[in-house]
Structure 1
Amino acid sequence: MIRPVAAVAAMAPYALADLGEAGMVSLAQNESAFGPSPRALEAGQAALASAALYPDPDWHALRQAIAEMHGQPRERILCGAGSMELIGALIRAFAGPGDEVLGTAHGYLFTAIASQQAGASYVTVPEPNLRVDVDLLLAAITRRTKLVFVCNPGNPTGTALPNAELLRLRAGLPADVLLVVDQAYGEFDPQDPTPVFDLVARGDTVVLRTFSKAYALASARVGWGLFPETVGGEMRKLLNPNNVSGASQAMAAAAMRDRAHMQGIVARTAAIRTEFVADLRLAGFSVPEPSTNFVLIPFASEEVARAADRALRSGGLLLRGMGGYGLPHALRATIGAAEAMRRAARIIAPFGKDIP
Structure 2
Amino acid sequence: MTCPVPYVAAMAPYTLADLGGDLISMAQNESAFPPSPKALAAAQDALTQTQLYPDPDWVDLRQAIAETHQLDPDMILCGAGSMELTGCLIRAYAGDGRAVLGTEYGYAFVASAALQAQAVYRQVPESGLTVSIDAILDNVTPDVAVVLLCNPGNPTGTMVPSVEVLRLRADLPEHVLLVVDQAYAEFCDASNDPSGIFALAQRGDTVILRTFSKAYGLAGARVGWGCFPPAIAAQVRKLLNPNNIAAVSQMMAAAAMRDRAHMQEIVRRTEAIRNPFASRCRALGLDVPHSHTNFVLLRFGSVDQAAEVDQALRRAGLLMRGMAGYGLPDCLRATICDAAVMERALSILKEALS
Please give the TM-score of this superposition, normalised by the length of structure 2: 0.98
Equivalent in the alignment of 1:137: 136
Alignment of 1:53-132 (within 5 A): 53-132=52-131
Equivalent in the alignment of 2:2: 2
Amino acid at match of 2:78: C
SS of the aligned residue for 2:128 comes to helix
CA contact (8 A) 2:129 2:156 kept: yes
Q: Distance in 2 between matches of 1:207 and 1:159?
A: 18
Give structure 1 stretches of 5+ with no counterpart.
none
Shift of 1:341: 0.6
* Per-residue CA distance 1:300-335 (angstroms, 9 max, x = gap): 111111100000011111100001111011000000
* Per-residue CA distance 1:211-253 (angstroms, 9 max, x = gap): 0000000000000000000000001100012000000000000
Shift of 1:21: 2.2
Equivalent in the alignment of 1:147: 146
Q: Distance in 1 between matches of 2:320 and 2:276?
A: 18
SS of the aligned residue for 1:129 comes to coil
* Per-residue CA distance 1:177-212 (angstroms, 9 max, x = gap): 000000000000131111111111000100000000
Q: How many residues align?
A: 352
Give structure 2 stretches of 5+ with no counterpart.
none
Q: Distance in 2 between matches of 1:107 and 1:184?
A: 12
CA contact (8 A) 2:312 2:352 kept: no
Shift of 1:84: 0.4
Residue 204 (structure 2) pairs with residue 208 (structure 1): no
* Per-residue CA distance 1:90-144 (angstroms, 9 max, x = gap): 0000011311100001000000000000000100001110000001000100110
SS of the aligned residue for 1:17 comes to coil
Q: Distance in 1 between matches of 2:125 and 2:350?
A: 29
* Per-residue CA distance 1:138-168 (angstroms, 9 max, x = gap): 0100110000000000000000111010001
Shift of 1:350: 4.5
Q: What do you get for the CA RMSD once the two structures are aligned?
A: 0.9
Please give the TM-score of this superposition, normalised by the length of structure 1: 0.98
SS of the aligned residue for 2:11 comes to coil
Amino acid at match of 1:11: M
Q: Distance in 2 between matches of 1:214 and 1:114?
A: 25
Q: Distance in 1 between matches of 2:249 and 2:234?
A: 23
* Runs of 4 or more consecutive aligned structure 1 residues displaced over 2 Å after TM superposition: 349-353
Shift of 1:352: 4.8
Residue 345 (structure 2) pairs with residue 344 (structure 1): yes
Q: Distance in 2 between matches of 1:139 and 1:7?
A: 30
Alignment of 1:252-267 (within 5 A): 252-267=253-268
Q: Distance in 2 between matches of 1:352 and 1:67?
A: 48
Q: Distance in 2 between matches of 1:352 and 1:34?
A: 29
* Per-residue CA distance 1:33-72 (angstroms, 9 max, x = gap): 0000010011011011110111000000000000000001
